Amino acid sequence: MAVTVFLLAITAFTLFVFLRDYAYRAAEDAFDRLLAASALSIAGAVQIENGQAVVELPTASLAMLGFAGENRVFYGVSAPDGRLVTGYDDLGRDLPPARASDPSFSNAAYRGEEVRMVTVGRLVATGEATGWVTIRVAETFGSRHELAAEILSRAALPLLALAIVALVLVWVGVQRAFAPLLALENELRARAPNDLDPVRVPVPAEARQLVGALNDFMARLNAGMRTLSGLVADAAHQVRTPLASLRAQAEIALDEPDVEKLRGRVTRIHENAVRAGQLVSQLLMDATIAHRLEAQSASVVAIDALMTEMRQRIDPDLAERVMVRIAPGATAISVAGDRVALREMLRNLVDNALIHAPDSLVEIEVSLVGPDCVRLAISDRGPGIPDDEKSVVLERFRRGASGEATLGSGLGLSIVRTVVDAHGGHLVFRDRPGGGLTAQVDLPAALPAGSKLAAQTASASAGFVPLLLAFALLIGMSDQARAEQRLSNYPAPGTETRQLVIVGTTDTPLFEPFILDFQKLWPDVAIAYAEMDTLPLYREFTAGTLKPEPDLIVSSAADLQVKLANDGFALRHESSATRALPTWARWRSEVFGFTFEPAVIVYNRDLVPDAEAPRSHLQLAQFLARDTDRWRGLIGTYDIVKSGVGHLLAAQDELISANFWRLANVLGTVGVRLYGGSVDILDLLEQGKLAIGYNVLGSYAFARQAANSRLHVVIPEDYALILTRTILIPRTAAHPDVARAFLDHLLSARGQAIASGATKLGAVMQDVPQGRSVAGVVGAPGVLQPIALGQALLVSLDQQRKSRFLQTWLQIVSGN
């Protein structure tokens, strides 16, 4: 049973290893295909403009990787001359440039993580030369490991269940199958020590061979016991007579005064001692041979070696009378059997011939009879054996008439017959022409080594070799002049033990309620909050010049936050609060959204009657186009060159709406005024210097609407982009434990109540009972489109794509 369980365990482990290998290879193959598709989509977007390679990164090129998981992604596109077109300039720097369009995969270390990289080429021809544009895309291994683990778990769980069922079935089956063997055990234990009768307990067919082998063993043991008993009886009977004679002769000799008669007595004592010694020797040899034949210790014995051993065991003086002749075809003949038994068989036949034919040679002839039989013929010129005694002399302790006058025990020829029969041979005595006797022994011959070939079978096993991959993406950005930093300090209400530094783009009055509420729970924490614009914050942090160094970064430019995490600047954080977030509001457990803010249209009712106010993006374009002179200089929106939030909203509008460039053209016609933030637009709306604000953050707009009835907020009825302010913990945070606590506080019921209540930022959690939250906005007409955190946001930050987008937008909107 233990062996069965062990074998099942080994089998299960082997299957597990196989499934694990298959799972990882299958996951690699799936991700490699996706990675190659991303690179090929970028390659397909490569164009030649003014003799230079350019590429506008397709949105799907990175978005498709986002569907596969939350890997960090990087990319780079290089011109034939090695010049960076777009992306990360150090990605695959040590790899050779592409020389073919077929994807090639490699593993590498990049920005502190192992990545899977694909390289493809795009052949382009300029007016002067032709060359290959190199496209590289890479991603980290996290999602592929997750997929492999999922495949393995789904395959391993049924395997585990099957193994358990198999073990139970084996256990039950073994118990039932071995029940008859238990009865057999009990039957054997109950037997008397000398009971060697065959076992007759009924057993299943599978155990019959075992019982048969056991019965055969007991039969052999019984035969051996009978042989031993006979040997003991024979020894007791045969040895008693010479010993009694020795004793009697010795007692008479003790009282014999006559020297000559005493000499005769001593002579007879010596003869009886020799006879007794020979008898004991033969009895012991008989027992030895019987044991060896029972043990079946067979080997291949060469005939010439057998002859040599025989000569060494007979009297050297008598050995001169032994002549051996081996036929030419029998020089390499061997016999399969017990070496000792065969040697003693031959020696007994030779001894018997030497004793009974003291004046003649003993001739031994070895010949091959047929292809598989060797014949030994031992001949002498003695008196021979009468025909009626030829069978008698083979019995134990029986001697022929001619042997009565010679010393002997009557065991030698019995031993010869036993050995010949045990080796499957044949023994016969033949009268020799001219007088004498020939003992003829035929034994099965063993063919020389190497004369038989063994068939061999071999099996081959095949393995799986699927591929896998990863991909990564990088974004560089240009920016405008550095914005001023506004620092506010919040001393600890209690005894200060540490200071938490937060750098964010949210207006300080809006973020202050979160800080004060947190300090109620953590009175020993002092907090410094530095307010900055989105692009300067990103630029200074990545350059390492941001002071003070933050423990938390808060920004409404979700794409820039995702890029920071993708480039390895963020710490992971997992808690019950982060896991409760909607999937679109968290990425890699590194970037988290905590507000729910629609991008809205705001108008001044004194300048735009409610009945005329546009309710969608298309209506806004049509409304402005009908009377461009009336609205000239009265429309405001983000300056997407200076504002990261403005660029994010514009990029998403361009992705979703077919009317985006139509609206941009109308905005340019009416002389749209551009601003760095929603607060500036709302201030001018309240003053009546603007009539309509486009893509204003709803959190600010709803707060102003509540305080000023002149302003009205419209959530577009065709679609409304939903932005979430994001927060992350930098890897360089001095107090990451406090930063994690503050992040969880933002997502807690208390923090979300502040977001939906006093600040009007909107709560991202759906179970907030009051104020503005997801549930409150969902009732608005039209489609709500949250800007999901993920790799797709990186597309709009691609240097070349962003540059071309901004140039086109500026040309249309400002005429520059």
Q: What is the pLDDT of residues 618-663, one digit of tens each?
A: 999 999 999 999 999 999 999 999 888 999 999 999 888 888 999 9
* Band of residue 96 on the pLDDT scale cut at 50, 70, 90: very high
Q: What b/e string do you get for 184-199 counting C-beta neighbours within 10 Å, with b at 16 or more? A: beeeeeeeeeeebeee
Amino acid identity, position 360? S
Strand, helix or coil at 522?
A: coil
Report whether 551 contacts 730 (CB < 8 A). Answer: yes
Tokens of 627: 């009377």
* Band of residue 689 on the pLDDT scale cut at 50, 70, 90: very high
Tokens of 95: 């790899």
* Band of residue 481 on the pLDDT scale cut at 50, 70, 90: very low
211: left (phi over 0), alpha (psi -120 to 50) or beta: alpha
Least confident stretch, 189-193, 290-294, 351-355, 674-678? 290-294
pLDDT, average across residues 375-396: 83
* Band of residue 212 on the pLDDT scale cut at 50, 70, 90: confident
Higher pLDDT, 97 or 340: 97
pLDDT, average across residues 398-407: 59
Least confident stretch, 157-171, 650-664, 720-734? 157-171
CB atoms within 10 A of CB 5: 14
* Band of residue 511 on the pLDDT scale cut at 50, 70, 90: very high
Predicted local distance difference test score (pLDDT) of residue 532: 92
* Band of residue 138 on the pLDDT scale cut at 50, 70, 90: very high
The DSSP code for 793 is G
Give which of 430, 359, 440, 469 is closest to 117, Cα–Cα: 469
Report whether 734 contacts 564 (CB < 8 A). Answer: no
Tell whether omega for the bond before 103 is within 30 degrees of 0, i.e. cis. Answer: no
Amino acid identity, position 70? E
Least confident stretch, 38-47, 182-191, 463-472? 463-472
Tokens of 540: 């200074």
Q: CA–CA separation, 604 vs 685, rounded Å?
A: 6
Predicted local distance difference test score (pLDDT) of residue 101: 84
* Mean per-residue pLDDT of the chain: 82
pLDDT, average across residues 678-702: 93
Strand, helix or coil at 525?
A: strand
* E strand or H helix that includes residue 639: none
Higher pLDDT, 790 or 70: 790
Predicted local distance difference test score (pLDDT) of residue 399: 64
With a CB cutoff of 8 Å and minimum separation 6, the contacts of 721 are: 598, 599, 649, 652, 653, 656, 695, 785, 787
CATH topology of domain 218-293: Helix Hairpins (1.10.287)
Amino acid identity, position 705? Q
Give helix 644-656 / helix 799-813 axis angle, nearest 10°: 90
Q: What is the pLDDT of residues 745-768, one digit of tens each?
A: 999 999 999 998 888 888 998 776
Report whether 374 contacts 303 (CB < 8 A). Answer: yes
Higher pLDDT, 219 or 587: 587
- CATH code, 2-150: 3.30.450
The pLDDT of residue 281 is above 80: no
Q: Which CATH architecture has domain 486-595+726-756?
A: 3-Layer(aba) Sandwich (3.40)
Report whether 426 contacts 439 (CB < 8 A). Answer: no
Predicted local distance difference test score (pLDDT) of residue 61: 84
Predicted local distance difference test score (pLDDT) of residue 451: 40
Q: CA–CA separation, 298 vs 292, rounded Å?
A: 9
Predicted local distance difference test score (pLDDT) of residue 672: 93
Q: Which long-range contacts (CB under 8 A, 24 or more apart) does 199-207 make?
A: 204/177, 204/180, 206/177, 207/180, 207/181
682: left (phi over 0), alpha (psi -120 to 50) or beta: alpha
| CA 57 to chain CA centroid, nearest Å | 37
The pLDDT of residue 456 is above 70: no
pLDDT, average across residues 114-118: 93
Report whether 736 contacts 547 (CB < 8 A). Answer: no
Predicted local distance difference test score (pLDDT) of residue 450: 44
Entry pTM:
0.56
Q: Which CATH architecture has domain 597-722+789-813?
A: 3-Layer(aba) Sandwich (3.40)
Least confident stretch, 160-174, 196-210, 448-462, 538-552? 448-462
* Band of residue 774 on the pLDDT scale cut at 50, 70, 90: very low
Give helix 558-566 / helix 644-656 axis angle, nearest 10°: 100
Predicted local distance difference test score (pLDDT) of residue 734: 95
* Band of residue 467 on the pLDDT scale cut at 50, 70, 90: very low
DSSP sequence for 79-123: -TTS-EEEE-TTTTTTSPPP-SSS-EEEEEEETTEEEEEEEEEEE
Predicted local distance difference test score (pLDDT) of residue 470: 31
Predicted local distance difference test score (pLDDT) of residue 242: 66
Burial class (CB in 10 A: 0-12, 13-18, 19+), 347: buried
Predicted local distance difference test score (pLDDT) of residue 502: 97
The pLDDT of residue 693 is above 50: yes
Residues pairing with 132 in the sheet: 123
Tokens of 102: 């077929």
The pLDDT of residue 34 is above 60: yes
Torsion sign over Cα 489, 494, 498, 504:
negative
Strand, helix or coil at 584?
A: helix
With a CB cutoff of 8 Å and minimum separation 6, the contacts of 44 are: 58, 122
Share of the chain above pLDDT 90, in %: 34
The pLDDT of residue 24 is above 70: yes
pLDDT, average across residues 717-732: 93
Strand, helix or coil at 470?
A: coil
The pLDDT of residue 297 is above 70: no
Burial class (CB in 10 A: 0-12, 13-18, 19+), 538: buried
Higher pLDDT, 754 or 298: 754
Q: What is the pLDDT of residues 364-382, one digit of tens each?
A: 998 888 778 889 898 988 8
Same fold, 486-595+726-756 and 597-722+789-813: yes
Predicted local distance difference test score (pLDDT) of residue 237: 55
With a CB cutoff of 8 Å and minimum separation 6, the contacts of 784 are: 598, 719, 720, 722, 777, 778
Q: What is the pLDDT of residues 423-437, one digit of tens each?
A: 888 999 888 888 888
CATH topology of domain 296-446: Heat Shock Protein 90 (3.30.565)
Domain residues of the chain, as ranges? 2-150, 218-293, 296-446, 486-595+726-756, 597-722+789-813
